[in-house]
Chains A and B, each alone.
Chain A
Amino acid sequence: MSDVNPVPPDGEDILLRVENLVKYFPVKSTGFFGNREHVHAVDDVSFTVRRGETFGIVGETGCGKSTLGRSVARLHDITSGRITFDGRDISRISQRRMRPLRREIQMIFQDPIGSLNPRRRVGSIIGDPFAIHRTATGTERKRRVQELMERVGLNPEHYNRFPAEFSGGQRQRIGVARALAFQPKLIICDEPVSALDVSIQAQVINLLADLQAEFGLTYIFIAHDLSVVRHVSNNVAVMYLGKVTEIASADDLFDTPRHPYTGALLSAVPVPDPDHSDQRQQIVLVGDVPSPIVPPSGCRFHPRCPKAAPVCVTQDPELEPRLGDGPGHVAACHLPMAQGENLADFKPTIGAEERVIEPEGVLTADALPASGDGGKS
C-alpha cells in the first residue's frame, strides 16, 4: 500500500529495508469448498534498519513480532513484500541460495533451553556455524569455539558440557556465541532476555551492547518489555495484530507517543517509584486481542481504542508523520494523541457493536450490513 518509506533514507547507510511485508499462515480449511483461512501474522509491514543501530520491535504476545523477525531471516517464506538486505533483494531467493547469506544474518532465540540441542555438547553447538559452512575443522574449530566462549563470558573449559549443565543466562550466552561465529552484519534477537531473571537480563543486554560496539553489529531487538527496548534501541516499531502502529526513535516514542495503543502500552510499564506510580493513570485496555484470522476492519485497534471514531472502523490509517515530532516518527492513527493527553479522558464515539471483540468480518455475506442489528454480539 504505502510506498512511502516510513524512515526516509536521507543518504544514510541502510542495512535492511523491509517493504510491505506480508506473512499469512494457512490454518485448517473450512467450509464446503475448502476455503482456506489464514492467520494474518504480519500484514503490510515496512521499516528500515540502519547499519550499526538497534531497531526495537515491541508488541503483545501474538502480534506477529517473532514472525516478522523470522521472515526477515527467511526462516519463513514470505507471502508478499520485499526484503532488501545490504543492497540485495532476499525476499524470493531459495533456501539454498540463502545459505551463504545466513553468515550475515543471524538469530538469537528466546528460549535458552529450547534453542540449544539438548543432546549435543556445547562445543559442537557453537561449532555448528563452522561445520555447516565448512570454514574450520578439528583443532582450528575448537580453538575458535573456545575464543567465542571466552568472548561471551563462558569458561572455555566447559567445551564438552551439555546445555543442561548451564544456567539460563549462560545458555543465552551460548546462543550469542553461536550467532557471533561469523561476525554477522545483522543479528535478529527474538526476545533474547524475556526468559531470564532481571539481574541476568542486564548481563546479557550489556554483553550484546559490548559486542555491538566491538564488532559494529546491527540488531533487530524483539521484545515485549518496553523498558528493555527503550534501553537498548535507537529506533522502535510498535506492532499490534500484525501491523506496525508506530515507529519512532526510542526517546521520541516514550516521550511523545502518538498512537493510543503505544500510550496504553507505556502506561502499563511498571514504575519503580511507588509515589509516582500511584499518581499515574493506567489505561487498562478492555477485552482481548481480536483473532488474527479475521482481523477487525479499518484500524485494527479500533475495538479496544478509547479514542475510536467512525473513521477508524472504515479506513485503515497509514503511517504518517505529525507536526512537532522528531525525524522518522510516524504513527498509523486517524486521531493521534497530543502531547500530555490523557487517554482515560476519552470515550469511543463508535457504536457499541463496533467495540465488541468479535470482529464484524465474521459476517461474510455483503447483504448483511457490517453494523447490522442482527443479534451478533
Chain B
Amino acid sequence: MSMVPEITGEGSQATLEAAAEPPHVSRKVIRGRSPWQLAWERLRTDRAAIISAATITVIVLFALLAPLIAHWLGHGSNQQFVDIGEDENGNPVPPSSTFWFGTDSSARDLFVRTIYGARISLSIGVLATLVSVAMGTVFGLAAGYLGGVADALIARLVDVMLAVPFLVIAIAVASIWRPSFWLVIFVVGVLGFTYPARIVRGQVISLKEKEFVQAARALGAGPLRIMFVDLLPNVMAQVIVYGSLLIPAAIVSEATLSYLGVGVQPPTADWGAMISDAQGYYQYGFWWYLLFPSLALLVTTLAFNILGDSIRDALDPRGGGIYK
C-alpha cells in the first residue's frame, strides 16, 4: 500500500542523480539502515510472507466489513430464514446463489456467520496475544534481570502454569464466572504468557552479562531503566516473533473453548461453536456446515503461522535473505 509511492520516490531520485552525474560513473550511495529496516527488506522479498500477509489482509477486511457485507446481502448474522433457509425437514440447505456457504441448523446464512466469526477470532487472537506478550515480557525481564527471589518466584509460577493443563484451568475459570468475550481474552492471554516469559528471561540472562548493561549501570541507570530502555529493544525481535506465532495459537485456543461451550456464548457467530454444532450434521451429508468454518479456521491459523515464520527469518540477522 504505502510501498508504491516510496518506490516511485526512490526511482525519481535515482533518475535525478543519474542526470546530474556522467553516465559511466556509478555512484553507490551507502545508507545506514537500522536492524528493523533490514528485517523489513528481508520480509518484503519473501514470497511466503507476501502471500500469507495478503491472505490475512483479506480475512481482516472481511471481518471489518462484515456488517456492510451482511447489509448488502440482506442477511443478518443471527437472522433465521425459516422459509428459504431450510428444507422441508427443517435441515440446512446447501450452498447456492442466495446462501453462498449454505445455511446452518437454525436456517442462518453460514457465509455471513463465518465472516462474523472472523471478527471474534481475530480480535480475541490479537488481544489475548497482546496480554500474553506484555505479561511475558515484563515477567521475563524481571526474572532475567533481577534474578534471585524474583526469578525463583516467576520460574515457579511458570512451572505451575505449564504443569496444569490449559483446558482444565480454562473450563474451571469459565464455570466460575459467566463465559464472555473478555473472559476468554483474559484466560487465553494469561495462560499464554509462560512461553514469552521463558524466552525473554533466557535472552535477558545472556544479555545482562554484556558490557553495555554494565556501562548503563556505571552511568547510574536504575534497574527499571536498564530493563526497559537497554534490554527491551534487544529482546523485541524475539517477542515479535513469538507474538506472531502466538496469534494462531490463541485463535485455536479460543475456538477450542467455544467448541466446548465455555467460550463466547451463542448466538454470537464463532468458528469453534459452529464446528461444534456442525459435527452432528456432517455424517448426514451436510458437508458445507462443517467445511466452511473449519476452512476459515485453517486458512487463518496457517496464514498467521507462515507469516510468523517469515518474520522470524527476517529478524534473524544470520538469515541474509535480501541478496538471495
Contact = CB atoms under 8 A, between A and B. Distances in A.
- Indicate the member of A107, A110, A128, A160 with the most B CB atoms within 10 Å: A128
B217 A75 contact: yes
Interface residues of A, number: 32
B305 to A, nearest CB: 27
- Indicate the member of B34, B215, B222, B230 with the most A CB atoms within 10 Å: B215
Given A106-B218, A109-B215, A132-B220, A114 B35 contact: no
A109 B233 contact: no
A254 interface: no
Interface stretch (B113-121, B206-214, B256-264): B206-214
A144 interface: no
B214 A128 contact: no
A153 interface: no
Interface string B8-49: 000000000000000000000000101100000000000000
Interface in A116-132: 116-120, 128-129, 132
Nearest to B230: A117
Nearest to A100: B220
- Indicate the member of A73, A100, A103, A132 with the most B CB atoms within 10 Å: A132
Interface residues of B, number: 20
Contact of A161 (B32, B210, B225): B32
A226 B217 CA distance: 29
B294 to A, nearest CB: 42
A213 to B, nearest CB: 23
B215 A175 contact: yes
- Indicate the member of B217, B230, B234, B236 with the most A CB atoms within 10 Å: B217
Contact of B219 (A120, A129, A162): A129
Contacts of A119: 35, 233-234, 236
A102 B219 contact: yes
Interface in B179-219: 210-212, 214-219
Nearest to B218: A107
Contacts of B222: 96, 99
B127 interface: no
B212 A114 contact: yes
The interface residues of chain B, by DSSP majority, are classed as helix
B219 A114 contact: no
A117 B207 CA distance: 10
Nearest to B210: A114
Nearest to B212: A117
Contacts of A114: 210-212
Nearest to B30: A165
A160 B222 CA distance: 25
Contact of A178 (B35, B215, B217, B234): B215
B248 to A, nearest CB: 27
- Indicate the member of A70, A105, A119, A161 with the most B CB atoms within 10 Å: A119
B234 A109 contact: no
B221 interface: yes
A115 interface: yes
A318 interface: no
A252 interface: no
A132 B211 contact: no
A120 to B, nearest CB: 6
A111 interface: yes
B214 A118 contact: no
B19 to A, nearest CB: 26
A136 to B, nearest CB: 14
Nearest to B31: A165
B238 to A, nearest CB: 12
A115 B219 contact: no
A111 B211 contact: yes
Contact of A109 (B211, B230, B236): B211
A308 to B, nearest CB: 37
Contact of A133 (B32, B220, B236): B220
Interface in B215-267: 215-222, 225, 230, 233-234, 236
A75 B234 contact: no
A322 B74 CA distance: 104
Contacts of A132: 216, 219-221, 225
Nearest to B235: A119
Contacts of B219: 102, 106, 128-129, 132, 178
Interface in A91-106: 96, 98-100, 102-103, 105-106
Question: Lowest 9 A-B CB distances belong to which pairs?
Answer: A102-B220, A119-B233, A115-B211, A114-B211, A107-B218, A99-B220, A109-B211, A117-B212, A165-B32
Given A117-B234, A175-B215, 19 more contacts: A73-B218, A96-B222, A99-B220, A99-B222, A106-B219, A107-B214, A109-B214, A110-B211, A111-B211, A115-B210, A115-B214, A115-B215, A118-B234, A119-B233, A128-B216, A132-B219, A162-B32, A162-B34, A162-B35
19 contacts: A73-B218, A96-B222, A99-B220, A100-B220, A107-B215, A109-B214, A109-B215, A110-B211, A114-B212, A115-B210, A115-B212, A119-B35, A119-B233, A120-B230, A128-B216, A128-B221, A132-B221, A133-B220, A160-B32
